[in-house]
Structure 1
Amino acid sequence: MSGIQGVGSGTPPQINQDLQEAASPNGGRFKQMLSRVADGALAGVAAIAPVFPGGQLVAMAATGLRELKATSPGGLAPGGQGDQIDRMFEMQRQNQVYNLQYLQLQTEMQADNRRFSTLSNLMKVRHDTAKAAINNMHA
């Protein structure tokens, strides 16, 4: 009985050679092919974009992406630009948490200030009333 390799045969399925190379640290042929396709697409966008209104900006962005890809070691792989972007997002998330904590502290301080002002006003009225009563006794 011929079956599908890896299904019910007790042997693990064979992984395509291109996928193995793509998963390797160096990337292999698949990664190189995708890199060439990306280069070609960015070059095409940079060449065609100036024809359209506002295309100069798009052309500059495409050229910048090509240069970034060429100069960054490993492109957007871990340790490269992608890792820095992840760290930037994490810092922004922490900044939001700190801002919320600061806002909560400000709210608590305002509530404490209102309580203090209320107690201070009540004590002043009490003092003024007692002082007026004493002054009325002397008069």
Structure 2
Amino acid sequence: MSNMNGINPNRMNSGAIHHAQAKQSEGSGGGSGFGKLMGTIADGALAGLAAVAPVLPGGELIKIAANGLRGVSSDAPAGLGGGRGEQLDEMWAMQEDNQVFNLQYMHLQQSMQSENRHFSTMSNLLKARHDTAKAAINNMRV
């Protein structure tokens, strides 16, 4: 592809690829920040539910279920779903990459619109010049 209006698509594509690789390497090391945060929130919510369960109808069953889910979430490596945090981080990374590609597409659309306006202007000028010359020739015949 050529450089259109100062836009270098090769540079933007390599930047998007570098961004995706950086996000992928961040997700592979240790636990994800988002997953840890969601695990902490889920654990707090389940602890609160277990605390107020005795007041609710069928509270003993709710308390047992909440404590059981807390046990599952503490055993899971990445929060309540066992890997869901990593999946969510990958989803966020894909959305960010999608935004980068959408921005590249928007720049391409803008450059194409600019070229279209330039072509239309030149076409209109040449048509006006042709019509003027044709009118002058027709006036000489009369």
Q: TM-score, normalised by structure 1?
A: 0.50
Say whether 1:94 aligns with 2:97.
Answer: yes
Q: List runs of 5+ in structure 2 lacking aligned partners.
A: 1-39, 54-65
Any idea what the Cα deviations from partners look like across 1:38-95, whole Å, max 9, x if unmatched?
8874334225679xxxxxxxxxxxx6xx47x549842339x81121122111101101
CA distance in 2, matches of 1:127, 1:116: 16
Within 5 A, what are the aligned runs for 1:1-139?
A: 41-47=44-50, 66=69, 69-70=72-73, 73-76=76-79, 80-139=83-142
When residues 98 and 132 of structure 1 are mapped into structure 2, their CA distance, relative to the original with a 3 A threshold, is: same
CA distance in 2, matches of 1:119, 1:80: 59
Contact persistence 1:72–1:81 (CA under 8 A):
no
Aligned residue number for residue 4 of structure 1: none
Question: Considering only aligned residues, what root-mean-square deviation do their CA atoms show, in Å?
Answer: 3.5
Contact persistence 2:78–2:86 (CA under 8 A):
no
Aligned-residue identity in percent? 47
Contact persistence 2:77–2:83 (CA under 8 A):
yes
Larger relative contact order, structure 1 or 2 (CA cutoff 8 Å, min sep 6): 2
When residues 72 and 128 of structure 1 are mapped into structure 2, their CA distance, relative to the original with a 3 A threshold, is: farther
| Superposed displacement of residue 100, structure 1 | 0.4
CA distance in 1, matches of 2:99, 2:115: 24
Q: Which residue type is aligned with residue 118 of structure 1?
A: T
Moved more, 79-88 or 98-107: 79-88
Larger Rg: 1
Q: Which residue type is aligned with residue 42 of structure 1?
A: A
Q: Which residue type is aligned with residue 130 of structure 2?
A: H
Q: TM-score, normalised by structure 2?
A: 0.49
